[in-house]
Amino acid sequence: MRKNIDTLELPKDEMREYGYKVVDAIVEHFSTQNDKFPVVVGSREEMDHLFLEEAPEKPTDPQEVLDFVLNKVISKSAIVSHPKSYSFVPGPSNYISAMADTLATGFNVFSGGWAASPAAAELEIVTMNWLLKIFGFPVKKGGGIFTSGGSMANLTAIATARRIKCGDDFAKAVIYLSDQAHSSNIKAIRVLGFKKEQIRIIPTDAEFKFSINKLKNAIAKDRLEGLQPFCLVATAGTTNTGTVDPLSSLAKICKTENIWFHIDGAYGGAAILAKDGKALLKGISKADSLTVDPHKWFFQPYEMGCLLVRNSKWLKSTFTEKPEYLRDIEGNESEINFYDHGIQLTRRFRALKFYMSIKTFGLKAFRTAISYNIELAEKVEGILRKSPHWEVISPATLAVINFRFNPIGENYSEKKLDKINQYISEQVVASQEALLVTTLLNGQVVLRMCLINPRTTINDVKETLAQCKTFTNITST
Ligand SMILES: *Cc1c(COP(=O)(O)O)cnc(C)c1O
């Protein structure tokens, strides 16, 4: 038996062999993932059968555990970076960032306070400055924080908005969001202890955008009732359709009404790196706070979200606590302790993967990839429009497109169309060859593709459409 087991150590050569095997497995995955199936299935019973056991008191051979995990665990996880993984928001990660995460974990870098790792804090400042500049936020005054994801970034934003606009008393505070806002915002609002009566869900117009008129009516009514409109959550790239709310108009309303302007650009924000995307996102730089999710369209592995704010002092005055056990490491003003800018104290070194991947590939590669994705979705729209079988329900926007099977001349009922399109999705997913699920738009069942993977080709999409076509012959109504 290894003598260093009681200190949870392995001999050096064993560590090396183990690590090489892990790297080999990851490299193999990156170079063969396109040939695998993106969809996995597994019931609770099957998973219990494979894995359920008591925590073992006795050791097991490390290679045996690793082999078991590679064979059974990893193989039962969906491949979200597969070219035919079209649903939800895919996760087209990159190898450099995966290795960066390995380094951050391997060295167990504490990314909470300046004193523990000044370089990690500095890299968070540097990469945040890159993002501030990309989104047209003030670089000097502005700031931000990397979070586990968009949900945490939105929570951090709304907590900050409330602190800055309402102080301690938020009994009369009211928050506005559209019916297309991401569910994480509602979750955040609930976590923060707001009552149902303090939330206004504003209907969207025919293009799924915030209805300005309805918003103005709601704000005016709330003012008349003596309430305090304090925050508006707009979306730059709704999850359903990729729609960007009328950001400039919303910014103007927020300014006049003294309302915090938060933009949730979790998936769509990255489009700013593409020319067409930048035009669509006009007004994004006017936000008080902005959520973007590097683990979506900035091609980072999970978990990495980001919140940007116009003034970094807002974060500091919301999240700073001064417990006695941290008194020795406070440091000076310019040396940021990121535990003072957000909810977490102990934080992993998220900035590293962003830093290393942008340094390695260059920002231009990211611009090219994102432009490619936007154009790919537009090409798909063109193909669909030229076909007598498919109907475009919402046009290609920020690489998202919604469509349904609705052949010309058949005059199927809405009920039948819903049924066929649901069936197409179920059959495609059951084949495991592509992940293509439905969403609901105006009550219609539609197929939704989110094409943010730069490795997805037009041929992949054509193959999937052809596959969809084979599942359209259900006869029952
Ligand atoms: C994905 C998404 C979120 C949630 O982000 P997570 O990283 O999944 O927590 C929030 N808003 C929008 C618009 C999103 O697309």
Q: Counting atoms of ligand 1 from 1, which one is nearest the CA of 265?
A: 13
pLDDT on residue 473:
81
- Unique residue bearing structure tokens 């704010």: 309
Q: How far is the CA of 169 from the centre of ligand 1 (A)?
A: 29
pLDDT on residue 475:
56
Summarised one tens digit per residue, pLDDT across range 383-394 is 999 999 999 999
Ligand 1 pocket check: which of 88, 182, 235, 240 to mutate, most ligand atoms within 8 Å of Cβ? Answer: 182
Ligand 1 pocket at CB < 6 A: 89, 149-151, 182, 184, 235, 239, 264, 266-267, 293, 305
- Give the HSE-up count for residue 400: Cα atoms under 13 Å, Cβ half-sphere: 27
Give the C-alpha separation, 474 to 111, whole Å.
Answer: 55
List 236's β-bridge partners, or say none: 244
Give the C-alpha separation, 318 to 441, whole Å.
Answer: 38
pLDDT on residue 474:
67
Summarised one tens digit per residue, pLDDT across range 193-226 is 999 999 999 999 999 999 999 999 999 999 999 9
Mean pLDDT of 91-100: 98
Tokens encoding 100: 């960066």
- Overall pTM surpassing 0.85 (yes/no): yes
Ligand 1 pocket check: which of 151, 189, 210, 284 to mutate, most ligand atoms within 8 Å of Cβ? Answer: 151
Given a cut of 80, whether residue 1 has pLDDT beyond it is no
List 290's β-bridge partners, or say none: 263, 308
Mean pLDDT of 320-343: 87
Which residue lies with its CA nearest to atom 2 of ligand 1? Answer: 266
Share of the chain above pLDDT 70, in %: 99
**Which of 360, 114, 35, 8 lies closest to 123 in space, CA to CA?**
114
Q: Counting atoms of ligand 1 from 1, which one is nearest the CA of 182?
A: 11
**Which of 193, 157, 202 lies closest to 173 in space, CA to CA?**
193
Given a cut of 70, whether residue 2 has pLDDT beyond it is no
Which residue lies with its CA nearest to atom 3 of ligand 1? Answer: 150
Summarised one tens digit per residue, pLDDT across range 285-308 is 999 999 999 999 999 999 999 999
Summarised one tens digit per residue, pLDDT across range 19-47 is 999 999 999 999 999 999 999 999 999 99
Which residue lies with its CA nearest to atom 6 of ligand 1? Answer: 150
Q: How far is the CA of 303 from the centre of ligand 1 (A)?
A: 12
Q: What is the CATH number of domain 109-361?
A: 3.40.640.10
Summarised one tens digit per residue, pLDDT across range 338-355 is 999 999 999 999 999 999
Residue spans of the domains in the chain: they are 109-361, 364-475
pLDDT on residue 3:
60
Identify the CATH assignment for 364-475 out of 3.40.50.360, 3.90.1150.170, 3.40.50.2000, 3.40.718.10.
Answer: 3.90.1150.170
pLDDT on residue 477:
44
Check if the beta carbon of residue 413 is closer than 8 Å to that of residue 441. no
Give the C-alpha separation, 130 to 77, whole Å.
Answer: 33
pLDDT band at 401 (very low <50, low <70, confident <90, very high): very high
Give the C-alpha separation, 451 to 369, whole Å.
Answer: 11
Do the domains spanning 109-361 and 364-475 agree at the CATH topology level? no
Residue/partner pairs of 26-33 with CB below 8 Å, 24 or more apart:
26/95, 26/98, 27/95, 29/74, 30/95, 33/79, 33/81, 33/82
- Taken as a whole, the chain contains a residue count of 477
